[in-house]
Structure 1
Amino acid sequence: MTGIVDRAALADFLRRSRERVDPASVGLPPRGRRRTPGLRREDVAQLAGISVDYYARLEQQRGAYPSEQVIKALARALRLTEDECDYLHRIAGYQTIARESAAAHVRPGILLILDRLVDAPAQVVSDSGQILARNALAAALFGAPALPGRLGNATWNLFTNPAARTTVVPEDLPGVLASNVANLRAVHAQRPQDSDVNDLIRDLLDASAEFRELWERHDVAVRRSASKTLLHPEVGRLELDCEVLLAPSGEQKLILFTARPGTDTADKLKLLRVLGSQSFAGDPASPNVR
């Protein structure tokens, strides 16, 4: 934290921002007539990956000071523009986001596309593996919304959280691990001075011997489109095609998971949509993988 938190301004801005967001624009079902417009507090909490009580305290000008990861997650949940995101950072006591590190902020237009993809799981991922946003079906597929901090980084979870590996077919795991490391090596070569990337690599080297071994191989490869087999605890094995759309800067990817029409996987995705996503806010055990 680099400045003074303006609790009153923060509470008012959060409340007014959520009241401006149409629930349908973020993939939430209509609720009929309501006295107040926009999102409910529990909606914002779920979209940001935090607890409802934690968010409520922010709007009530009490509780702990929010971390920068939480502020970034709230900016995405509330579909803030870059200027609004900068303002939110300032009143929360943080420096504004450097435009050269734009991977931390998802443009509202990309989020709008994501929310309207209701028939297919989709998510926005930074090039370093940070899950920045997920639609409802992707949250149901992977067992969690996009979470802030290390809990929301796919590469970190694969090497430090055993639960993150349960969705990967065992025979595919070595290739998935190697692919993540090779991609991170490519990102580091592109932005060797990026503090977030360097911190992630340092922490992974400290936390995982498996990562250290793969890192020392010096393989380099940017992840693009691929096929993926996932194991879901409720619907079982899913054979998915992954289409990766790159943002112009290359620092963000919109990943769309599709199933071939008429297949068993297509039927299972329909079932997942019926089951709907569940709220995993505040659950540190929920893995983020890709």
Structure 2
Amino acid sequence: MTDHGELGALLRSWRDRLSPADVGTTAFGVRRAAGLRREELAALAGVSVDYVVRLEQGRARTPSAQVVAALGRALQLDRGEQDHLYRLAGLQPPGEALVSTHVPPGVQRLVTRMGDNPIAVFTAAWDLLTWSSTWAGLFGEPAGRTPWERNLVVQTFHEEVLGDRAGRARHADGGAEFRASLVADLRRTQGRHPHDPRLRGLIDRLRETSPEFAGLWDTGAVGEHLSQRKTIDHPVVGDLEVDCDVFTVSGSELRIVTMTVATGSPAAEKLDFLRVAGAAALS
């Protein structure tokens, strides 16, 4: 049986222990408590304020696994806390057989504190989990996209999902090496999680919709996606040459992707513009 009273109490408790600064937002107006407001948690998790209220009051009884995962990331829960949240919601915590979507609190804080740069966190299947406002300014706001559209492999082989407000990455060789390494990396993930239904569905759908992906997949190549310098063609600020680095979180398969530019360069000025524009949009 799900204990909805405990679920609501814990959500309130976890919300109260975070400040706006912890999640990279600015506190506005008079606040009666130091913790996050319900509307701030709702915005971070991508759900309605009314739904957060109903969860905390025990009136919403069947949150989906996707909502639970989003709340766990927004509340910066550790693995034990997130597993407990799943159980309180009447769900089985994700096991090791599945690609993990858990973002440790330290990684979430890293994204918050490095938010002046485009930085994002992906699963081992390249599903986008969390990102900085500058990343959104560079590649378009991910919150308005479906999980399929937020996947980096999907965006690479189906650029149309990005829309007309997003930057596109260009590579010196036309992107052939980048696309091949991304597919080889996804195959490596599939080898580690052969029974993950979402991963299997992602691969099957890509094979059906992208002949290029299907051809690369059928080569059987297994490898690791590597960092590369690239040029981002942005519809507002034009071209930005960036150094793109990919880091794997110790003890997990999460990928942290950062993009940096030389201080004082034209690209830095363009990023500053996108950073300010992104912050204005959020506020």
The normalised TM-score by structure 2 is 0.83
Q: Tell me which residue corresponds to 1:265.
A: 267
Secondary structure at the aligned position of 1:70 is classed as helix
Distance in 2 between the 1:255 and 1:169 partners? Answer: 14
2:242 aligned residue: 240
Matched, 1:224 2:226: yes
CA distance in 1, matches of 2:103, 2:257: 13
> Who is 1:192 aligned against?
194
Is 1:137 the equivalent of 2:139? no
Deviations 1:115-143 (A, max 9, x none): 11132121111221011221232233222
> Could you tell me how far 1:26 is from its partner in structure 2?
1.2
Q: How far has the Cα of 1:176 moved from its partner?
A: 4.3
Determine the structure 1 residue equivalent to 2:161.
163
Residue 39 (structure 1) aligned with residue 41 (structure 2): no
Q: 1:6 to 1:236 in 2, by over 3 A?
A: farther
Aligned equivalent of 1:115: 112
Structure 1 residues 102 and 84, CA gap change in structure 2 (3 angstroms) = farther
The answer to whether the 8 A contact 2:4-2:61 is kept is: no
Give the AA of the match of 1:79.
Q
The answer for the alignment partner of 1:84 in structure 2 is: 81
Aligned partner of 1:288 in structure 2 is none
Secondary structure at the aligned position of 2:55 is classed as: helix
Larger deviation: 24-33 or 48-57? 48-57
The SS at the match of 2:100 is: helix
For the residues of structure 1 that align with 2:236 and 2:141, how far apart are their CA atoms? 14
Instruction: Figure out how many residues of one structure are paired with residues of the other and give that number.
Output: 276
Give, in angstroms, the shift of residue 145 of structure 1: 4.5
SS at match of 1:228: strand
Larger relative contact order (CA 8 Å, sep ≥ 6): 1
Contact (CA 8 Å) 1:49, 1:148: kept in 2 or not?
no
Structure 2 residue aligned with 1:283: none
- Residue number in structure 2 paired with 1:285: none
Structure 1 unaligned regions, length at least 5: 280-290
Shift in CA distance, 145/164, structure 1 to aligned 2, threshold 3 Å:
closer
Shift, 1:41, TM fit: 2.4
Cα distance change on mapping 1:119 and 1:88 into 2, 3 Å: same
Partners in 2 of 1:248 and 1:156 — Cα distance? 26
Identity of aligned pairs, percent? 38
Q: Classify the secondary structure of the residue corresponding to 2:126.
A: coil
- Structure 2 distance, partners of 1:48, 1:232, is 27
Q: Which runs of 5+ in 2 are unaligned?
A: none
TM-score (norm 1): 0.82
